[in-house]
Amino acid sequence: MLLNSPLATGLFHGAIMESGVRDPHDPEIAALPTSYRTKEAAESAGTTWAKGKSATTLAELRALSATEVLDGSDTKDTTVTAPTLGNPPSFRPVLDGYVLARTYEETLARGLQNAVPVLTGGNKDENGASPGTDTTVAKFRAMAGTKYGDLAEEFLALYPATTDAEADEQTNASARDSGRVSVHLWGTEFARHANTPVYTYWWEHVPPGASSQGAYHTSEIVYVFDSLYATDKAWTAADREIAKTLSAYVVNFVEHGDPNGRGLAHWPANDPHRPATMEVGDRFGRMELADAEKVAFFRRYYAAQRAW
């Protein structure tokens, strides 16, 4: 929101967005907090909510307690659905023409975002991927038809599954590949006008005791801040070394707008001509987004979707 809002211009010199960005044409945005509502939809929902509180004026709304105001803020918006991730939170940003002045697509296309260096990426076991999805072949094929439509058979050829175990594996593989490609496409479009670098990452380390969750959403946070000491997990020497290395990249980025520094494996900036990202965690180094034909598939798929 801060990168896209004209009200935030000049307020910061860099942005770190962990699990925080996807290409505007990625339909899975629909399920995420970044799937903004239109002003009309938000006002309609707000009016209905206020009536439920017997509040029809600003004075009556201001008289509500904080608990009453927050009531319902954790509900899901069933009027919007992503192909695999489901429904977004009801309480989320609004395309109001002021704080969020334009769509993500228009903001990027016109180069109106706040032009600062960016570091962003995702985790291996989030956004549709996990160590065990319990997917069957039938469910996998149904998902392909729902999400990819006319491209479903091509998708299934790229991610073949003849057993439930393979369907589970390919569900994860495709979610991870599509996520990396989505972030790359966003970074390419951002840097096209901004003339500031975008550094992307892919977090793969599984914290102690999290084998059933994998590299889950937020699992990288304590490593980024090198704050393992503040928790009671059974950290190993390897965990401490990962935290030391990752936090060093972050400090470099905060200070210089570039994560690279002495003694660290090179972290390449997002390059439209060399689609790759930075693997962080168990290994630190450049990694391909996916096989070339899979990258090409997701490029075509996203290009054909309605943009946010």
pLDDT tens digits for 242-258?
999 999 999 999 999 99
- Residue 46 CB partners (closer than 8 Å, separation 6+): none
Closest CA to 270 of 180, 205, 176: 180
CATH of segment(s) 6-24+103-303:
3.40.50.1820
pLDDT at position 73 is: 83
For the chain, the structural domain boundaries read 6-24+103-303, 29-102
3-state secondary structure 266-278: CCCCCCCCCCEEE
The model's pTM: 0.93
pLDDT, averaged across the chain:
95
The DSSP H or E segment spanning 118 is strand 118-123
Residue 57: CB atoms within 10 A of its CB come to 9
pLDDT tens digits for 257-271?
999 999 999 999 999
Copy the structure tokens of residue 88: 């977004």
